[in-house]
Amino acid sequence: MIITDLKRLGKGRYEVALDGEAAFVLYKGDLAHYDLHVGEVLTEECRKQIYGETLRKRAVNRILFLLQSRDYTCYELKEKLRKGQYPDEIMESALAEVAGYGYINDANYAERYVECYQERKSLGKIKQELLRRGIDRDTVEEAIEEGRRVQEESGEQTEQMQIRRLLEKRHFDPASADRKEKEKHYAFLMRRGYSSSDILAVFREYND
């Protein structure tokens, strides 16, 4: 592999290109430490040292630093590392190491997320948000079902109760509203992630 470019990124960071393609990012001191220069060959031994001694440790430390402020899913952490231009090999290795400490657990993340937001958001909306965070569908479904079970057993606010509260806050009465108003509020509730069956059930209650 030939070092074809050392592109300065700012703050003492350089993008190292190998054989014409961006490979990883190092600091100015790293370039001096590994004696890297444009046009020279990067040996496999040196590459392994850079990956193992420098990049992997930095990736692990970056993950641990992020987790100090809040929980992240595995996907979110990978995106953070990707912005730092860490190679895929380094990202996977660092995430596996930190997951081994028990600090990354998408199932626990999903359960805590449902528990935290289910009184303010529909389970459908929560499901969409968890999927966008990169958690696999089966894990999300399990967390949603557990949230629904806890909600039912504890007698806490159900989705239909949430719909009634939202309609009251918007001063909307399905019994007296015309078709256009009903369609408008139906669409609003659907966008919030509530199911059609729950919305129509509440509308029928008002009509009754």
3-state SS assignment for residue 86: coil
Mean pLDDT of the chain: 87
Query: What does the domain layout of the chain look like in residue ranges?
Result: 3-100, 106-154, 159-207
Name the nearest CA neighbour of 166 among 134, 97, 119, 204.
119
One-letter amino acid identity for 171? H
131 by DSSP, 3-state: which?
helix
pLDDT exceeds cutoff 80 at 161:
no
Alpha helices in 133-195 (DSSP H): 137-154, 159-169, 179-191
Res 155: pLDDT:
54
Reported as a single tens digit per residue, the pLDDT across 50-107 is 999 899 999 999 999 999 888 899 999 999 999 999 999 999 999 999 988 888 889 9
CA atoms of 26 and 14, how far apart (whole Å): 5
As given in the structure block, the two tokens for residue 6 are 């050392």
Residues of the chain above pLDDT 90, percent = 51
| Better-predicted residue by pLDDT, 77 or 183 | 77
Tokens of 28: 């100015």
- Residue 201 vs residue 29, higher pLDDT: 29
Range 3-100 classified under CATH 1.10.10: yes
Alpha-carbon gap, residue 109 to 111, rounded angstroms: 6
Residue type, 179: R
